[in-house]
Amino acid sequence: MKRKYVVLSLILACLMLDGCSAKNIDSTNISEDDEYEVPVDEEWDENYKESADSEDDYSWMIPQADHDIFTEEEKKKIETDTLQTATEVWGLYENITIDGSLPSFSSGIVDFTKQQRISVLEALGELGVIATTNDANTQNGEKFIPFYDDYLNGKSGMVTIYKVYDDGLIGSITFLYRDGEIQSYYVGVKPGTNGEPCVSGKNVQEIASVKYTPKGYFIYEDKNPMLHASSYGYFRLSPMSDECRSLTDRFLKNLEFQKYKLMVCDWDEETVHELLAPGMFEDFYYIKFGDAYRDSFDSIPEDLFEEVMTTYLPVTVSDLRKTYEYDETTGTYSQETVYNSPYPPFLEVTDYKYNADGTITLYADGVWPEYNSDHAFTNEIVVKPFEDGSFRLLSNDVTEQELRLPPVAYSQ
């Protein structure tokens, strides 16, 4: 039964241990006489305590710390503060639709939009907490720095980081440094059966290392990561310009470093045909259509294959038919499947130049959390945008910086 959910560990890793934003907590203000009334998702709480053999229980995949440096009072206060903070922005959840059949680790909210996420993020920021979500700048990220400075100086400290996940779940991760050890305490908040916020998910993790990079990434390593999940979590605390974010999302977000050589070597319009390899078509297809290619890779229609490939790369139909396995009788291409690397680096635009010929030169850094680097290498990429939203990559010039370039999964 448990093997059935191996893939879900990756989802849970992102859901429970991904980047967030923070609120300093002074545990010295906690009184032993304080009473905490924290609404809890009773179904989650009961499942968590029971055996992990039911199809709806995923807690068996979440490693727990061997020992706990958080006190019970500290954890209760974190839960109370997290719930109170979520409650203060819960008016933005008034018109949500809840689907009780969704997995228990999710928010249960149907079709939570990006704009809703951004609105919740901004509302959390107005409360003064460090708050983050995908596709937006972290709110109050500078408040994290004192915690990291204390850590470097061997001084105990605690900071809480909030994240609005894609499905609307609000999570907090509290990092505690004490007596030479670091642990994190995750608390999730989602709609309960009555639609009101309730705690749904709690977890203590031992942290092996933390690093705050020059560009403002906080990268942390779990000692005991979930099965098949990366041991590294991260979030960008420093702001990124709207234009750099937009250019990154449009041109670079879905390009792979370890499936093919496009991003790891120098090339131009004259030499790019030498780099053609399996793995490119499905990535460009996703960029063009916003969905994965789901038909057989053994018989890709020539019109589709050639349209996609010649749109995004300066190659000819002749180049494609020489490189890939092409069946003239059926008018189809076939290629082997090249799977995505589990924890690849990714590019983010740091500068750009709009050229007179209509092309754009992108200057991008390779961020590689698995190696604690936000400047692993730099790429200078020239792209030509088209009116329909598509584009063509025209050249790449890559330079190693902090790290060596990653190996490529497919070798011709």
Give the pLDDT of residue 16.
41
Computed on alpha carbons and rounded to an integer, the radius of gyration of the chain in Å comes to: 23
Q: Which of 92-96, 120-124, 318-322 has the lowest mean pLDDT?
A: 92-96
Return the higher-pLDDT residue of 164 and 47: 164
- Token digits for 142? 């500078």
Q: What is the pLDDT of residues 377-391, one digit of tens each?
A: 999 999 999 999 999
The model's confidence at residue 302, banded by pLDDT at 50, 70 and 90, is very high
Task: Tell me whether residue 275 is in a domain.
Answer: yes
Task: Tell me whether residue 361 is in a domain.
Answer: yes
- Token digits for 347? 């590019």
82/168 Cα distance (integer angstroms):
15
Question: 378 and 332, same structural domain?
Answer: yes
Angle at which helices 302-312 and 280-289 cross, to 10°: 80
Helix/strand/coil percentages in the chain, nearest 5: 30, 25, 45
Coil vs helix vs strand at 240 = coil
Q: Which of 12-16, 196-200, 213-217, 303-307 has the lowest mean pLDDT?
A: 12-16
Question: 332 and 183, same structural domain?
Answer: no
Which residue from 14, 55, 9, 400 is spatially nearest to 232, judged by alpha carbons? 14
Q: Which of 237, 254, 274 is the last residue of a domain?
A: 237
Task: State the average pLDDT over residues 216-222.
Answer: 95
Task: State the average pLDDT over residues 299-322.
Answer: 97
Which residue from 131, 138, 199 is spatially nearest to 162, judged by alpha carbons? 131
The model's confidence at residue 233, banded by pLDDT at 50, 70 and 90, is very high
Question: 285 and 233, same structural domain?
Answer: no
Vertex 20 angle, CA 366 and 109, to 5°: 115
Give the pLDDT of residue 40.
53
Which residue from 79, 89, 71 is spatially nearest to 201, judged by alpha carbons? 79
Kind plus residue range of the DSSP H or E element containing 204: strand 197-212
Helices (H) and strands (E) in the chain, counts: 9, 15
Q: Kindly tell me if the per-residue pLDDT of 58 is higher than 70.
A: no
Give the pLDDT of residue 281.
96
Task: Tell me whether residue 346 is in a domain.
Answer: yes
The model's confidence at residue 63, banded by pLDDT at 50, 70 and 90, is low
Q: Kindly tell me if the per-residue pLDDT of 51 is higher than 50.
A: no
Task: Tell me whether residue 273 is in a domain.
Answer: yes
Question: 382 and 257, same structural domain?
Answer: yes
Task: State the average pLDDT over residues 394-406.
Answer: 88
Between the CA of residue 289 and those of 103, 250, 282, 293, 347, what are the distances in Å? Answer: 28, 13, 10, 9, 21
Q: Kindly tell me if the per-residue pLDDT of 11 is higher than 50.
A: no
Question: 202 and 268, same structural domain?
Answer: no
- Tell the residue number behind the tokens 């680096």, with chain if given: 345
Q: Which of 237, 267, 297 is the last residue of a domain?
A: 237
200/188 Cα distance (integer angstroms):
5
Give the pLDDT of residue 231.
86
Question: 291 and 412, same structural domain?
Answer: yes
Question: 263 and 165, same structural domain?
Answer: no
Task: Tell me whether residue 230 is in a domain.
Answer: yes
Dihedral angle over CA of 219, 223, 228, 232, nearest 10? 0
The sign of the torsion formed by the CA atoms of 95, 101, 103, 104 equals: positive
Task: Tell me whether residue 58 is in a domain.
Answer: no
DSSP output for 67-105: S--S-HHHHHHHHHHHHHHHHHTGGGGTT--B-TTS-TT
Return the higher-pLDDT residue of 40 and 367: 367
Number of domains in the chain: 2
Question: 258 and 346, same structural domain?
Answer: yes
Average pLDDT score over the chain = 85
404/164 Cα distance (integer angstroms):
34
Question: 205 and 109, same structural domain?
Answer: yes
Which residue from 45, 131, 47 is spatially nearest to 82, judged by alpha carbons? 131
Strand arrangement, sheet containing 325-327: 300-301, 332-334, 325-327
DSSP state of 239: -
Task: State the average pLDDT over residues 187-200.
Answer: 92
Q: Which of 5-9, 93-97, 184-188, 312-316 has the lowest mean pLDDT?
A: 5-9
Question: 260 and 152, same structural domain?
Answer: no
96/119 Cα distance (integer angstroms):
14
- Token digits for 323? 């490189």
Task: Tell me whether residue 169 is in a domain.
Answer: yes
Q: Which of 6-10, 189-193, 248-252, 367-371 has the lowest mean pLDDT?
A: 6-10
Q: Which of 188, 208, 237 is the last residue of a domain?
A: 237
Q: Kindly tell me if the per-residue pLDDT of 78 is higher than 90.
A: yes
Question: 255 and 170, same structural domain?
Answer: no
Task: State the average pLDDT over residues 323-345.
Answer: 89
Task: Tell me whether residue 381 is in a domain.
Answer: yes
Task: State the average pLDDT over residues 80-94.
Answer: 97
Q: Are 127 and 89 in contact (CB under 8 A)?
A: yes
348/375 Cα distance (integer angstroms):
10
Return the HEC string of 354-385: ECCCCCEEEEEEEEEHHHCECCCEEEEEEEEE
Dihedral angle over CA of 155, 157, 163, 169, nearest 10? 140
293/284 Cα distance (integer angstroms):
10
Range of the domain at 265: 240-412
Question: 252 and 167, same structural domain?
Answer: no
